[in-house]
Structure formats: structure tokens, C-alpha cells
Amino acid sequence: MLLLGTVFAALLAGCGATSPHLYSLGKTRTCLESKPVRLGGQLDFVASTSTGGAVKVHTSDNFVTLVFGRTVADADNVAAAYRRFAAKNVGVNDVLDQEHNAILLWHTHPSQPDLDLVSGCLK
């Protein structure tokens, strides 16, 4: 009976949902430093209170506030805060993206090359 219970527990563990990959500001920043972007700038209130840190990334014609939560739930809260505080006439969902525990809030709708550049550095 004990053996059957152990086998059943192992099967459940193998079928369970895997935890999502968590990105970090440090590893992402290292990648971005090798790209044609400028890092830095004043962060908004939501970004300045994030649990995993944040950085502003300037591309040639746009910028993105890149915010990290320590967990996906933290990032969910950041995304909810941006949606809650957005002006009624701002299509925030057009400029807000969440990748696991990372939130990308663009100044204007990003071009595909800018999106690929920044998303490609999420580590």
C-alpha cells in the first residue's frame, strides 16, 4: 500500500503545473547593456514600489518601463495597478504587456523590433 501511495504521489508531481520562469532585473539589465538602448530615468510611482525592481529602457524612438515582481502574483498586482491608474482616454492594454513576473509598460505602441529587442533580453 505504501508503495502504491508513493507511485501515485510521484505521478501527481509529474503531472502538476510547473512553476513559471521568473525573470530578474540584474540579468535583464546585463543583456540590455549590450544593446543599442539607453537605461535610466525617473520611474513612476507604481514602478518605484515594485518588489523585483524596475528600469526605464529608451530605444531610438520609444521607451518602456520594465518592472519586475518577485513572483507572478506581484507582477499581476503591478499590471492591475497600471490599469487602475490609467486615464480613461488611454488604451493601456495597447502598451502594457506581462511576461511571467515582468511588466512592460511602453510610452507608445512598440514597433516589433523594439518589442523583440527588449523581450529578447528578459532573463
pLDDT tens digits, 43-53: 999 999 999 99
Domain that holds residue 71: 23-120
How many other CB atoms are found less than 10 A from the CB of residue 86?
15
| Residue 10 belongs to a domain | no
Give the pTM: 0.83
Q: Count how many domains the chain has.
A: 1
For residue 17, the model assigns a pLDDT of: 56
pLDDT per position as a tens digit, 67-118: 999 999 999 999 999 999 988 777 899 999 999 999 999 999 999 999 999 9
- Are 82 and 96 in contact by the 8 Å Cβ rule? The answer is yes
| Residue 114 belongs to a domain | yes
CA dist., res. 52 & res. 84, Å (int):
20
Does the pLDDT of residue 15 top 90, yes or no?
no
For residue 10, the model assigns a pLDDT of: 42
**Residue 110, φ and ψ in degrees, nearest 5:** -75, 145
Beta bridge partners of 105: 65, 96
Does the pLDDT of residue 2 top 90, yes or no?
no
| Residue 14 belongs to a domain | no
